[in-house]
Amino acid sequence: MAEEAIKLGGKKKSFFIDKVKEILPEGGNLNLCLTCGACSSGCPATGLEGMDPRKFLRMAALGMDEELLSSKWAWMCTMCQRCVYVCPMKIDIPQLIFNIRASWPREKRPKGILGSCDMALRNESCSAMGTSPEDFQFVVEDVLEEYRESQPEFKDMEAPLDKQDAEFFLNQNSREPVTEPDEMVPLWKILHLAGVNWTYGSKGWGGENYCMFLADNEAWEKLARTMVGQADALGCKTYLNTE
Amino acid sequence: MVVKNIYEYYAKWIREGKLKVNSDWNKDLKIKFTVQDPCQIVRKSYGDPIAEDLRFVVKSVVGEDNFIDMVPNRSNNYCCGGGGGFLQSGYKEQRLEYGKLKDAQIKATGADYCIAGCHNCHAQIHELSEHYGGNYPVVHMWTLICLSLGILGPNEREYLADDLKEVNVFHPETAM
């Protein structure tokens, strides 16, 4: 008679990957890996920190939570989703990464990303550079005035703030108004020539959301709601990303 | 309310004749361009159709023969390394290592310029160009649209190299 089967371990532990599976649609397919390596072979982050997407997922599956949660690689994956695009099982590794970022104590997350998120929370512009609505309005009006005068073909060009019922609500990356305001003009000219009815918002004009990169769920939602809320309040039909 | 990206509208406005762009300025110059498909806009949001719109816009303004695609491209394109907060993460050395693949992809096209419609891509690829010695300029889409319309002033050319600083200048007397 065969010997009794050996029983392994005690109670099954709950690993980090299980928690992430619970909050993702279809569990992010996180337990479907065929280990084919298509993700890693086309991932620009492969090799950084001795890591790659397949290895990272295997570590998660093996319950190597300590290594997983402390790996800086979570901040070197850009969550670009190319791994998902090429994966035969559509495994959502970027969402695993995002939730690992979110598990870091907020103050331990990279200072630059943290700083840009906090800047955006300073006022209602939602700008990662902390630019106030008043400063934005001043720069836009100043540049517009200058170009209307110096290029008379565009004397009727507009760059409105908080115009009601415009078709498009445009966002604006902070880089232009803050560091290179002349770069805003070509876009305004295009909109003018195309006869587009558009507006910026005094609130939520910032096009960036570093709080999302920081994986600060409460904060990124607040920024996104401010942006969309202003577009809605103005009665705009389309929120238009300009980049 | 819907959320859209402007590439789709650039293409629409050109097709509808609202933006009368042409590529005559580049007929003799034959300056070559490649384009970065931003992950957020193409793979993650609108897929290959918007990548086609982007190519339609680029070819309309620089000339069909002066556009060279990277390989792979569209939804299958490589991220440049500027996304996901990497630019602000403090891991500069790793970010540049990450971007090596993108730099090699751009160099392999032999293009003179890389067009980047996304600010993160723009900043990262600009740095890759300098760091790895390719020194290809990186331009926004709006710059080339206005150049092709003959309405790009002298102070709106921050990212054009010397070969295009003097081409088709609108109100040259306003140069600062």
CB contact under 8 A, A185 and B90: no
- pLDDT tens digit sequence for A166-196: 999 999 999 999 999 999 999 999 999 999 9
B168 domain-assigned:
no
A6-37 residues labelled b (16+ CB within 10 A) or e (exposed):
eeeeeeeeebbbeebbeeeeebbbbeebeeee
* Residues A77, B46: Cα–Cα separation, whole Å: 21
B144 confidence band (pLDDT: 50, 70, 90) = very high
> Residue A141 above 70 pLDDT?
yes
- pLDDT tens digit sequence for A231-240: 999 999 999 9
Q: Where in the sequence is the domain holding B131, given as residue range(s)?
A: 6-163
B174 domain-assigned:
no
**Domain segments of chain A as ranges:** 16-104, 112-240
- pLDDT tens digit sequence for B55-109: 999 999 999 999 999 999 999 999 999 999 999 999 999 999 999 999 999 999 9
Average pLDDT, chain B: 98
* Residues A210, B12: Cα–Cα separation, whole Å: 30
A11 confidence band (pLDDT: 50, 70, 90) = low
User: Mean of the pLDDT values across residues A4-14?
Assistant: 75
Contacts of A243 in chain B (CB under 8 A): 6, 38, 41, 117-119
pLDDT at A172: 96
> Residue A6 above 90 pLDDT?
no
CB contact under 8 A, B89 and A76: yes
B171 domain-assigned:
no
Place of tokens 């331009």: B139
User: Mean of the pLDDT values across residues B44-50?
Assistant: 98
B113 confidence band (pLDDT: 50, 70, 90) = very high
CB contact under 8 A, A112 and B81: no
B175 domain-assigned:
no
What CATH number did the domain enclosing B25 receive? 3.40.50
Which ipTM value was assigned to this complex?
0.98
- pLDDT tens digit sequence for A190-232: 999 999 999 999 999 998 999 999 999 999 999 999 999 999 9
B135-165 residues labelled b (16+ CB within 10 A) or e (exposed):
ebbbbbbbbbbbbbbebbbbbbbebbeeebe
Residue A50 burial by CB count (10 A; 0-12/13-18/19+): exposed, middle or buried?
Answer: exposed
Name the domain count of chain B: 1
B55 domain-assigned:
yes
pLDDT at A14: 84
Contacts of A82 in chain B (CB under 8 A): 39, 43, 76-79
